[in-house]
Amino acid sequence: MDFTEKEYNALVEDIFRRFPSVQKSAFQDAYKPGLGQMDLFDEALGRPSRAFRSIHIAGTNGKGSVSHMLASALSTAGMKTGLYTSPHLLDFRERARCFPGGLVPKDYVFGFLTRWKPYFEEHRLSFFEITTGLAFRYFADCGVDVAVVETGLGGRLDSTNILPSPELTVITSIGLDHCDILGHTLGEIAAEKAGIFKDGTPALIGESNPETDSVFEETAWMRCPISFADRMELSLGYRSAEILRSMDLRGEYQMNNLRTVLAAVDILKKRPGFEPLQNDTAVLDGIVHAAGRTGLRGRWEKVSDLPYVICDIGHNPPALKYNFAQLQRMLSEGECSSLLIVYGVMADKDLDSILPLMPADATYIFTTPDTPRALPSEEILSRYNAFCASIGRSPRAYSSGSVREAVNMAITLARNYSEQLDRSASASKPVPALIYIGGSTFVVADALPLF
């Protein structure tokens, strides 16, 4: 099908506008739970969900990294592998990839959206239902050996849960996020995630937790075998520290994700059709180079050396606890001379639980990413200042408009701090200021094109 770049961009923007995505619209306008419409769409598409083997992955944090590492390992071992994740950062096509290969081609996207647009309108599909159908049809058309499929939200009512019988279901972690939709306790959220369990399909839990273990075990009882990655004797576990040091997915939090991936590989090795995973060298090569092989962005990603800039999409208290602790440690141990944090958050996040996690010795530039879901930077600044006053801390914080303005301010401040350090007689070995950009996927998505 012939089309121009302008026609392609207009069609994709029209899909965003007419069928709201959580990246462009308020969450309550975009989220559409339930499997009925998705099942009908899958039937209209020719049941692509049944045309390939799959690995289904849910979790509060870590499911994106685990999905990409596992897809890279499968592909590098020689299996044609599909990968479906969300949200995207820079390109709509990041959601559906095939390896070897890469992003779903533009002509495929254009042809699919053009052909099925009348169906979208008639059945009032959600944006996520559309992209799930596109990905599943693409994987079927590509003839993938296996597809790694990440849930969008929760599990039980997520559109991806039409997958009839995955080879493995994985739940990476459980934390308090999207509580208004998934539940207000870890147990309630775990029950929603466990909705992806299928009869006879092995279930793997990435992290044990007394509040959720029994939920998973009761859901799996008499239905499917269940394993906990942190209780397994992993065949490659003795090399974990070495692998972690070599991985292009950085961040201390990746240790838990790596353990989950190694556990998943051990389980899959025993299933028919996954014999290529017996090649440990290829599996480890895929894991170590997962970001480069799959194009994953925004996971403790160093986007600049001078200035020293790291971007990370961690956005809820469990994720930010790891990130902020690592930043504080880097500052305390002299890996950076000063710490500047460009931070934005969605209005539905638990900012009150995040504020105590923020490093005390950092300078903050609060920002408002380009989405109606964002909490205004002025409100973040006000609540941060009030928090600091309540504990007797002197804040160093500013409010900026767009992410571009916030990043420019952070770079200017970082240069000023470095110049002051250079002039200091005590600075025998100057180290750079570190700029951390995060708090939300949307902040990182706005920031990456600047570098």
Helix (H, G, I), strand (E, B) or coil at 140: helix
Residue with tokens 């000063």: 338
| Contacts for 77 with CB less than 8 Å, ≥ 6 apart | 276, 277, 279, 282, 283, 286
CA 292 from centre of chain:
16
Q: What is the pLDDT of residues 126-138, one digit of tens each?
A: 999 999 999 999 9
**339-343/434-438 β-pairing:** parallel
Higher per-residue confidence, 55 vs 22: 55
Q: Tell me, what's the pLDDT at 419?
A: 75
Q: Tell me, what's the pLDDT at 330?
A: 94
Q: Tell me, what's the pLDDT at 450?
A: 95
pLDDT at 32 over 70: no
Average pLDDT of the residues in 380-408: 95
**Where do the DSSP E strands lie in 118-218?**
146-150, 168-171, 203-205
| Contacts for 385 with CB less than 8 Å, ≥ 6 apart | 395, 397
Label residue 81 by pLDDT band (50, 70, 90): very high
Average pLDDT of the residues in 178-202: 90
Q: What is the CA radius of gyration of the chain?
A: 22
Q: Which helix (H) or strand (E) holds 434?
A: strand 434-438
Q: What is the pLDDT of residues 308-359, one digit of tens each?
A: 999 999 999 999 999 999 999 999 999 999 999 999 999 989 999 999 999 9
What percentage of the chain reaches a pLDDT higher than 90? 84
Strand order in the sheet with 53-58: 102-103, 96-99, 81-84, 146-150, 53-58, 168-171, 203-205, 226-228
Label residue 168 by pLDDT band (50, 70, 90): very high
Q: Which amino acid is at 184?
A: H
Average pLDDT of the residues in 272-282: 97
CB count within 10 Å of CB 50 equals: 14
Q: Tell me, what's the pLDDT at 356?
A: 96
CB count within 10 Å of CB 362 equals: 20
CB hemisphere CA count around 341 (13 angstroms): 27
Q: What DSSP string describes 238-285?
A: GGHHHHHHH-SS-STTHHHHHHHHHHHHHHHHTSTT-GGGG-HHHHHH
Cis peptide before 87 (omega within 30 of 0): yes
Average pLDDT of the residues in 289-303: 96
Q: Tell me, what's the pLDDT at 182?
A: 83
Q: Tell me, what's the pLDDT at 175?
A: 83
pLDDT at 35 over 80: yes
Report whether CATH 3.40.50.720 matches the domain 301-450.
Answer: no
Label residue 422 by pLDDT band (50, 70, 90): low
Q: Tell me, what's the pLDDT at 429?
A: 61
Residue 124 φ/ψ, nearest 5 degrees: 50, 50
5-294 CATH fold: UDP-N-acetylmuramoyl-L-alanine:D-glutamate ligase (3.40.1190)
Q: Tell me, what's the pLDDT at 100?
A: 93
> What is the Cα–Cα distance from 22 to 103, expressed in whole angstroms?
21
Q: Tell me, what's the pLDDT at 34?
A: 76
**Where do the DSSP E strands lie in 191-251?**
203-205, 226-228
DSSP 200: T
Closest CA to 447 of 431, 435, 429: 435
Angle subtended at Cα 206 by Cα 201 and Cα 209, rounded to the nearest 5 degrees: 110
pLDDT at 232 over 60: yes
pLDDT at 75 over 80: yes
pLDDT at 166 over 70: yes
| Contacts for 401 with CB less than 8 Å, ≥ 6 apart | 367, 368, 377
**Which letter, b or e, does each residue of 137-176 get, where b requires 16 or more Cβ atoms within 10 Å of its Cβ?**
bbbbebebbbbbbbbbbbbbbbbbbbbeebbbbbbbbbbb
CB 193 within 8 A of CB 152: no
Average pLDDT of the residues in 2-31: 76
| Contacts for 451 with CB less than 8 Å, ≥ 6 apart | 303, 304, 309
Higher per-residue confidence, 24 vs 55: 55
pLDDT at 216 over 80: yes
Q: Which helix (H) or strand (E) holds 37?
A: helix 36-44
Closest CA to 4 of 114, 110, 95, 82: 110
Closest CA to 341 of 278, 395, 272: 395
pLDDT at 176 over 90: no
Q: Tell me, what's the pLDDT at 28?
A: 52
Q: Tell me, what's the pLDDT at 20?
A: 65
Tokens matching residue 70: 């596992």
> What is the Cα–Cα distance from 137 to 140, expressed in whole angstroms?
5
Q: For residue 183, is it left (φ>0), alpha (ψ between -120 and 50) or beta? A: left
Q: Tell me, what's the pLDDT at 408?
A: 96
| Beta-bridge partners for 55 | 148, 168
Domain borders along the chain are 5-294, 301-450
Residue 233 φ/ψ, nearest 5 degrees: -90, 105
Q: Which amino acid is at 142?
A: C
What percentage of the chain reaches a pLDDT higher than 70? 95
Q: What is the pLDDT of residues 256-268, one digit of tens each?
A: 999 999 999 999 9
- Average of per-residue pLDDT values in the chain: 93
